[in-house]
Amino acid sequence: MFRIAVCSSQTNDKNETSRTIQKWIKRNITADAELCQVESVEELQNIMETQPDKYNFCIMDMPALKSAFEAQTEQKKHPLLIHGTDSIRHIFVEDIMYAENSLRRITYTLYNRQKIISVRRAGSFESAVGEIAKAQAFMQPHKSFFVQLRYISELGTDHILMADGKKIPVAQSRLVTVQSRYLHYLTQRTKA
């Protein structure tokens, strides 16, 4: 689920912005999205300090706070270089929804549904995705996939449904581990 915060010093601006964003969400985002109005600078600062991952996006008209929010968000992101089929791309690990290995090609699907294809010339899938394989935010439900936990919409007995609607298989040998990791993730997320 995508969570978007709207913070404005003017109530009319905030309501108009919220209506515009709701329309945009309905047209452009197929995953579930939640829009929240944050009432004050103090409330948003408190959320940024105590629950930095609460919102995927924050829309605000307060320049000083916007700068602080952008600085904090950039510090948390982990850059990754992907050697695509015709270029080298710079993305953030946090933006990867899942990575799929098929015939020595790795397709990285980002949260905005953009796909980046990389050719794996040697080594294993795990070594090719590098930091993703080691990151706590990801798990490998099947030999051909790594998924980011926060983009999981549903966990079935033989598949994972991602936020973009993609069904990813879960190997029977990994089912217990996958269920345990996902439940642990949900538990930690609700505590935050």
- Inter-residue contact 90 to 71 (CB < 8 Å): no
Instruction: Delimit the domains of the chain by residue range.
Output: 2-76, 79-191
Please, how many CA atoms are within 13 Å of residue 81, restricted to the half-sphere of its CB? Answer: 3
Q: Are 2 and 30 in contact (CB under 8 A)?
A: no
**Cα gap 87→84, rounded to integer Å:** 5
What pLDDT score was predicted for residue 8?
Answer: 66
Task: Please tell me the distance from the alpha carbon of residue 107 to that of residue 115, in angstroms, as a whole number.
Answer: 6
Name the residue among 98, 113, 1 with its Cα closest to residue 57: 1
H or E segment and range at residue 46: helix 41-50
The CATH code of domain 79-191 reads 2.40.50.1020
For tokens 């452009």, the residue is: 28
Between CA 66 and CA 6 the distance in angstroms is 12
Q: What would the two tokens of residue 5 be?
A: 């915060």
Three-class SS state of 150: helix
Classify 99 as helix, strand or coil.
strand
H-run or E-run covering 184: helix 175-191
The closest of 128, 157, 127, 152 to 138, measured between CA atoms, is: 152
pLDDT at 168: 98
- Nearest of 185, 104, 189, 191 to residue 148 by alpha carbon: 185
Which regions in the chain score pLDDT beneath 50? 64, 71-75
Q: What Å distances lie between residue 22 and 5, 18, 29, 153, CA to CA?
A: 12, 6, 10, 20
Fold that domain 2-76 belongs to in CATH: Rossmann fold (3.40.50)
